[in-house]
A and B are shown apart, each in its own frame.
Chain A
Amino acid sequence: MRLRNILAVTRKETRVMRHDHGLVAAILIQPILYLVLFGMAITNEVTNAEWVVYDQSHTDLSRRLVSDLTSLTALQEPQFVNSEDEVIDFLRRHNGLAGVIIPWNFDEKLMRGQESPIQMLLNGAQTSSALRLANYISQAAATFSLTQLPTRDRSEQRVTLPRVSLEKRYWYNPGLQDRFGLLSTMPANLLTQVCLMLASVSLVLERERGTFEQLLATPLSLSEIMLGKILPYVGVGFIALGMLMTGSYLFYGIVVKGSLLLLLAVALVFMLATMAFGIFFSSWAQNVQQAIFLGFFVMFPSIIITGILVPTDNYPAFVSFLSHCLPARYFAHALRAITLKGAGLAEVSTDLLFLTGFFVVSLAAAVRVTKAKLG
């Protein structure tokens, strides 16, 4: 294989790509889209959530509870309603997350040193967010119990009962901001889409138009052709990656803790691996339409089960196995490690190894399959 040959194909491919403005524009819009969506819109924090309170006791203490719950959880001010039905209606029709019902004998029980239960009605149709809200409220209620309840003469009772509490420290993400994790793995999402679909489609397109056979008639080898076709997309990928990372830094202050060079190196290997992977899959497609559908078929799990959106820690065996077969998993892992944890070569060496292996094997397999089909 000679570099000069590969670059010749790359130059031709770049010229073709430059004519297709729409395509490049569509690719480059995506980093902007993701920056907005994942940086601003998507969050698991409860600050914007709406909730209702049905206060049956209407005492000073219950009002203080509500105001403490609001301030401690950083929630919006709740809406006050006057019946349990209204609370249920809020969850049912308005799709609210939670409603708190404070019983009529709330302050009496507390004054007598008894436990006073308050009801939290949770919207099970919004499972994880309702739970998260419930946790926040529970914690706030516990804090209220310990700090706000009036001292009594028999307060000795409270003091003698020790508590075991947790002093929490969040590593790598002190503010516990969701967007850190999401934006750090976004390049894996973006580049998977760009590389998998485009590289595979371009080859099939060539085959369909008949220009592939012309290429084969030249002294170029099959692997040189394939590599040459991949390279321009690596360039586009790097541009998109650059946009994403610059945007994350400028707007959200996300800095790569580890070595930027290492990150770019992993990105390069990932792009090559994914595109070879895509080409391998597309050698079975007979036309562009099939190539596109196949690309999507491989891409969808690449985004869902590779740790980009959801943690991979609790997969059943076969899902975990599938996850290990996809290049995106290793890239997402390396991205998070380098960006947030400042990992070095040692920690991502496994990822690099796998990705290189993917690249070599996929390319070889793609060449083999294509040669066989050409007969």
Chain B
Amino acid sequence: MTRLGAKLSRLRTLLWREFIELRRDQFTLRILVLIPVLQLTLMAYAITTDFDHLPLCVLDRARTRETRQLLSDIAATGYFSIRPLTEADEVSLSFGRERCRAALLIPPDFSELITNHKEVRLGLLLDASDTTLATSTEGFLTAIVRTFYTHTRLERTPLTDRNLRPEAVGVVTPVRRVLFNPTLSGTAYTLPGLLGMICLFLTVFITAIALVRERETGTLEQLLVTPVTSTEVVLGKILPFGIVAMGAVIFCIGAGWLLFDLVPVGSTLLLLAVTPIFLLIGLAQGLLISSLARSSVDAVERSVLTMVPQMMLSDFLFPLALMSQPFRTLGEIFPLTHYLRVTRGIYLKGQGFVELWPEIAVLFFFLVLFVTLASRTIKKQG
């Protein structure tokens, strides 16, 4: 047998051993499978910026035909469900008990002001302890209220079609045109991000812990006594996790298609080609952590410390575009940021290799960097 042939056959034996072990460890196997499923489900359903039937407390001090019309207009949009209040003191109680997160106050002279063609001011109290909710509520109510007098009934329309009928005077009307995600679906935004996160978790976290475990239980030393070289041991250990992670990615892409009707606008093949690069980066990082960590728990903490800033500053949950310059630059340091540009580019913008090659090149650079670092650190440990 040639040397390469011998190497490959040893490697194959090691991989086989890993798979046997994984199969015996039903527990870990189930968890490895369930985690992507869990993440997918939760994030897809939970993280949404749209809302409906949000309770809106209303203190109607006028109680006229016009106010009833206003309230029925608001309710008709389906975004809010009206909770009537009878006196002003109830507002702070309602906020405290969280019966509602917003309160509309209608002054007693509402109809008179309208009849006399004067401006009417409604009070809007918002529970701003959650700013996302407060801003959305404010935005919707402002839109509804502004069109009230022109008797435009605002149906429950998709966000993009919500062009308001303007007043019949010279006004500047912004007309929205949404590129790349015409339905403004929250899931379409989250899924590509989720792919990156699953890759990160299944490579960095799991590999670091599995490898430290190997060292802890002493089976690593046993392996080193065999004719297997240390490189092969390492490769044999990390490749199965890479394969599992790749499986998880394919699963998520499939689930996105079957459950949420999400298909990449661009080339799925490109996505499947770039993903292994990112996976290998994660595996190298996991390897690095495992050689530096002194115990399983230490490895956990180190990987969490690696993953948390990466998750926060990579445009995954929180948009980089809104952060100040120093953090935006910091975000460029993380491989996840670049991988997400690729996944979102392919999924939402239909970008191809021609546009994405800079990001792919950066990923390659990270790959070389981390693999070099990892192999240097491992060699030092003998």
Task: List chain A positions with a Cβ less than 8 A from chain B.
Answer: 20, 22-23, 26-27, 29-30, 33, 37-38, 40-50, 65, 88, 91-93, 95-97, 100, 109-132, 134-135, 137-139, 141-142, 144-145, 149, 157-174, 176-178, 180-181, 184, 193, 197-198, 201, 205, 284-290, 292-294, 296-297, 300-301, 304-305, 309-311, 313-316, 319, 322, 336-337, 340-341, 343, 347
Assuming A96-B321, A122-B177, A163-B149, is B169 touching A23 (CB within 8 A)?
no
Is the CB–CB distance between A121 and B173 below 8 Å?
no
Chain B residues, Cβ within 8 Å of A50: 321
A29 to B309, CA, bound (A): 12
Is the CB–CB distance between A165 and B145 below 8 Å?
yes
**How far in angstroms is the closest Cβ of chain A from B32?**
8
Chain B residues, Cβ within 8 Å of A113: 169-170
Is the CB–CB distance between B129 and A45 below 8 Å?
no
Q: Is B205 an interface residue (CB 8 A)?
A: yes
Assuming A33-B305, A37-B309, A347-B97, is B175 touching A311 (CB within 8 A)?
no
Pick from A132, A167, A176: contact of B123, CB under 8 Å: A167
**How far in angstroms is the closest Cβ of chain A from B322?**
6
Chain A residues, Cβ within 8 Å of B201: 296
A171 to B52, CA, bound (A): 22
Q: Is B251 an interface residue (CB 8 A)?
A: no
A50 to B341, CA, bound (A): 17
A293 to B81, CA, bound (A): 42
Q: Is B125 an interface residue (CB 8 A)?
A: yes
Query: B123: nearest residue on chain A (CB-CB)?
Result: A167
Is the CB–CB distance between A171 and B126 below 8 Å?
yes
Is the CB–CB distance between A124 and B124 below 8 Å?
no
Is the CB–CB distance between A169 and B124 below 8 Å?
yes
Is the CB–CB distance between A141 and B172 below 8 Å?
yes
Is the CB–CB distance between B304 and A134 below 8 Å?
no
Assuming A41-B313, A193-B304, A289-B209, is B170 touching A181 (CB within 8 A)?
no
Query: A118: nearest residue on chain B (CB-CB)?
Result: B174
Q: Is B364 an interface residue (CB 8 A)?
A: no
Chain A residues, Cβ within 8 Å of B369: none
Majority secondary structure of chain B interface residues (helix, strand, loop or mixed): helix
Pick from A45, A125, A197: contact of B189, CB under 8 Å: A125
Chain B residues, Cβ within 8 Å of A300: 35, 38-39, 42
* Additional 8 contacts, C-beta under 8 A, given A288-B213, A300-B38: A26-B305, A41-B327, A95-B321, A100-B174, A118-B174, A137-B174, A176-B131, A304-B43
Chain A residues, Cβ within 8 Å of B178: 121-122, 124, 130
Assuming A118-B172, A165-B119, is B45 touching A180 (CB within 8 A)?
no
Scoring B122, B141, B185 by chain A CB atoms within 10 A of each residue's CB, the highest score goes to: B122
Pick from B118, B126, B348: contact of A124, CB under 8 Å: B348
7 closest cross-chain pairs (CB), A and B? A124-B181, A26-B301, A173-B128, A170-B128, A145-B171, A125-B348, A124-B180
A141 to B205, CA, bound (A): 48
We find that the number of chain B residues with CB closer than 8 angstroms to chain A is 115
Chain A residues, Cβ within 8 Å of B122: 164-167
Is the CB–CB distance between B42 and A109 below 8 Å?
no
**How far in angstroms is the closest Cβ of chain B from A274?**
16
Query: A37: nearest residue on chain B (CB-CB)?
Result: B312
Chain B residues, Cβ within 8 Å of A137: 174
Chain A residues, Cβ within 8 Å of B351: 92
Pick from A26, A120, A284: contact of B177, CB under 8 Å: A120
Interface residues of B in 187-241 (CB under 8 A from A): 188-189, 201, 205-206, 209-210, 213
25 contacts between A and B (CB under 8 A): A33-B305, A37-B312, A42-B318, A42-B323, A44-B131, A44-B132, A92-B179, A95-B321, A96-B321, A117-B175, A125-B189, A125-B344, A125-B349, A127-B49, A127-B186, A161-B168, A161-B169, A165-B120, A167-B124, A170-B126, A173-B129, A181-B131, A201-B296, A284-B27, A319-B46
Is the CB–CB distance between A340 and B129 below 8 Å?
yes
Is the CB–CB distance between B149 and A162 below 8 Å?
yes
Is the CB–CB distance between B38 and A301 below 8 Å?
yes
A155 to B86, CA, bound (A): 40
Is the CB–CB distance between A40 and B327 below 8 Å?
yes
Is the CB–CB distance between B174 and A120 below 8 Å?
yes
Q: Is B152 an interface residue (CB 8 A)?
A: no
Is the CB–CB distance between B117 and A121 below 8 Å?
no
Pick from B124, B170, B309, B322: contact of A45, CB under 8 Å: B322
Chain A residues, Cβ within 8 Å of B135: 44, 132, 135, 176
Assuming A33-B305, A341-B95, is B319 touching A177 (CB within 8 A)?
no
Is the CB–CB distance between A290 and B31 below 8 Å?
yes
Pick from A164, A293, A347: contact of B145, CB under 8 Å: A164
**How far in angstroms is the closest Cβ of chain A from B69?**
11
A144 to B113, CA, bound (A): 24
A286 to B26, CA, bound (A): 11
Is the CB–CB distance between B172 and A110 below 8 Å?
yes
Is the CB–CB distance between A23 and B173 below 8 Å?
no
Is the CB–CB distance between A297 and B38 below 8 Å?
yes
Is the CB–CB distance between A161 and B149 below 8 Å?
yes
**How far in angstroms is the closest Cβ of chain A from B100?**
10
A113 to B51, CA, bound (A): 37
Chain B residues, Cβ within 8 Å of A139: 142
Q: Is B2 an interface residue (CB 8 A)?
A: no
Is the CB–CB distance between B123 and A169 below 8 Å?
yes
Is the CB–CB distance between B129 and A289 below 8 Å?
no
Pick from A33, A116, A165: contact of B173, CB under 8 Å: A116
Q: Is B148 an interface residue (CB 8 A)?
A: yes
Is the CB–CB distance between A37 and B344 below 8 Å?
no
Assuming A29-B305, A304-B43, is B174 touching A160 (CB within 8 A)?
no
Is the CB–CB distance between B170 and A145 below 8 Å?
yes
A137 to B213, CA, bound (A): 54
Pick from B42, B142, B323: contact of A41, CB under 8 Å: B323
A125 to B341, CA, bound (A): 10
**How far in angstroms is the closest Cβ of chain B from A270?**
19
Chain A residues, Cβ within 8 Å of B70: 164
Chain A residues, Cβ within 8 Å of B319: 44, 126, 128-129
Interface residues of B in 311-328 (CB under 8 A from A): 312-313, 317-319, 321-325, 327-328
Assuming A162-B117, A341-B95, is B180 touching A125 (CB within 8 A)?
yes
Interface residues of B in 349-370 (CB under 8 A from A): 349, 351, 355
Query: A161: nearest residue on chain B (CB-CB)?
Result: B167
Is the CB–CB distance between B45 and A176 below 8 Å?
no
Pick from A65, A157, A168: contact of B124, CB under 8 Å: A168
Assuming A129-B322, A173-B128, is B120 touching A162 (CB within 8 A)?
yes
**How far in angstroms is the closest Cβ of chain A from B14?**
19
Is the CB–CB distance between A289 and B126 below 8 Å?
no
